[in-house]
Amino acid sequence: MKMDLPLVFTIFGATGDLATSKIFPGIFNLFCDGIIGDNFKIIGFARRFETDKEFRNYLSSYLYGDEQKKIEFLKKVKFCKGDVTNFNDYVKLKEKIQNEVEIMKTCPSFLYYLSLTPKFYEDVLRNIDKVQLTKICNAPSNWYRIAIEKPFGESLESDEKIEKLLRKLFVDDQIYRVDHYLGKRILHSLFTFRFSNSIFDGVWNKNFIERVELKILETEGVENRVSFYDTVGALRDVGQNHLLQMLSFVAMDEPQNFNHEEISREKHKVLKNLNKMNKKDIVKNTIRKQSKIYSKLVPNSKTETYFKILASINLPRWKGVDFVLEGGKYWKEDRKEIRVIFKNNNLFDKQKKSPNEIIFQIQPKPKIITKFYKTESIFNYQLTPYEFEIEEFNDNLYSEYYFLIYKMMIGERIFFVGNDEILEMWKFTDNIIKAWQNNLVPLEYY
C-alpha cells in the first residue's frame, strides 16, 4: 500500500476553500499514515501570499493530527505567488518546480491539481502547455497526471473546449476528472451491493422498481462563496455532476470488468439514454426555487438554490420508472440519499402505503437501510415496518479526498468520471438551464 514515489504535487487555487479544507488535509492524512512516504513536495499556486512561511502558517490551521508530523509535512509545502491568467507567473512556477526537482536529485512524477472555478480552466491549461509543465524531465517510471474538479466547465460548449486543451497535453489515462461523490463510501457500497448480491439482481428493473429518488438537500447556505454560486446555481453545482453520477450508479448494467473503461462505458450508456427534455417537458417536469435568505443576500438574483427534476431513462430495463433528482441549499434538514422505492403488490396493503425501499443514505448518517414489512398481531393483519441497517464506517479523517488522491497516485481511475459521461450530463442539464434562463419555469421562493 505504501508508495515511495518521488512526486511534485502542484495545486492551482491553493488558498481556496476546497484546497485548504479537503485536498491538503487529504494529502496530510496520507502522509501521517505513511502511505505517501517522504519523497514529495507540494507547491501551492495562488495570489494571496508572498512567502512559503505565510502560506504554511495559514495552512497549518486546516491540518489536524500529530503535531510533529504536521511540522514535517509543512516543510514540504512551498508557495508560488501567481495569477492563473498571467503567463509570467507560470514561468516563475516552472522555475520553482525545477528547483525542487534539482533538490530531489531525481526525476519525479508530477501531479497538477486544478482546484479552481471552471472559468479559469482554459487559462491554466493553455499556460501549462505554453510553459511546458508536462516536459520538465522524463524517466522510465515517472508520470504526469492532471486532476480537474467538477463542475467540468460551465456548459457543454465550455466542456468541449476544456477537453480539447486537455487532450493536447495528456492522454486519457493521465486525466482524473474529480467528482468527490465518487469518493464516498456509500457509492462504493452501492456498487458492490448491487453487483455482489444476486438476490437483488432480478428485481433491479422496471418490473419491480417504481421510483428512484436522488437527493442532495442541505441546511447550509452559500454565504462564503456567493460570487461563485450566483453564476452557477444549484443544478450546475450538484445536479449536473453528483446527482447524475448517483443516478448512473443506480441504473447501470453490470460492467464486464472492474476497471475505469468498462464502468464508465456502462454509466455512459445510462446517461446517453437519459431522456433529454424539450421545452414542454421542462415546464412539466422541473421546479426551481430560491431561498428567501439567499434573496436577501443577493437582491435581484434569479439563481436557483433548489430544484426538483423528474427524469426518465430510455432503456428497456428502466422504461416507465421515475428518477427524481432534487438538490437544494438552506433546506429544513440535511438529507442526502438514493432511495430506491419498489412497487407494491402486497396482499395486506390495499392502500399501497408500504412499499419496500432500499436507501443508500449519505446524510444524516452514512448507512444502507432496507425496509420490510410483516404482520405482528393475532387480532388483525396490520403491517409493521422493519428496517435493517448497515452502518457505514464514518471517519472524517478518511475523507473522499484521502481516497481519491490515493487513487490518483496509484493510477487507478475507477472512481473518476469519463468525459463521454460529462458530455451527456451537460446535454441533459444545458436544455433545462437555458429554459430556466428564459423564464419558462417560474422561479418560486421558499
Catalytic positions: 242
Cα-flanking dihedrals φ and ψ of residue 86, to 5°?
-105, 115
Footprint (CB under 6 A) of ligand BG6, residues 195-224: 218
Tell me whether residue 255 or residue 366 sits nearer to ligand BG6 (CB atom): 366
Shortest-Cβ-distance residue relative to ligand BG6:
237
**Chain centroid to CA 84: how far?**
23
Three cell numbers written together for 354: 408500504
Tell me whether residue 238 or residue 432 sits nearer to ligand BG6 (CB atom): 238
Q: In what order do the strands lie in the sheet with 77-81?
A: 77-81, 40-46, 7-12, 109-114, 144-149, 175-178
Among candidates 220, 29, 43, which has minimal Cα distance to 115? 43
Per CB under 6 A, 367 contacts ligand BG6 = no
Tell me whether residue 229 or residue 406 sits nearer to ligand BG6 (CB atom): 229
Angle made by CA atoms 183, 365, 214, in degrees to the nearest 5: 65
- Between CA 416 and CA 426 the distance in angstroms is 17
Per-residue string for binding with ligand BG6, 315-344, x by CB under 6 A? ---------------------x--------
Three cell numbers written together for 221: 447556505
Per CB under 6 A, 238 contacts ligand BG6 = yes
Distances (CA, A) of 189 to 27, 99, 120, 338, 366: 24, 43, 34, 12, 10
Size of the residue set binding ligand BG6 (CB under 6 A): 4
Of 159, 237, 326, 430, the one binding ligand BG6 by CB under 6 A: 237
Tell me whether residue 22 or residue 268 sits nearer to ligand BG6 (CB atom): 22
Tell me whether residue 96 or residue 180 sits nearer to ligand BG6 (CB atom): 180
Per CB under 6 A, 421 contacts ligand BG6 = no
Number of H helices, E strands in the chain: 16, 15
- Between CA 124 and CA 249 the distance in angstroms is 31
- Between CA 430 and CA 124 the distance in angstroms is 24
Tell me whether residue 97 or residue 408 sits nearer to ligand BG6 (CB atom): 408
- Between CA 380 and CA 393 the distance in angstroms is 40
Binding site for ligand BG6 (CB under 6 A): 218, 237-238, 336
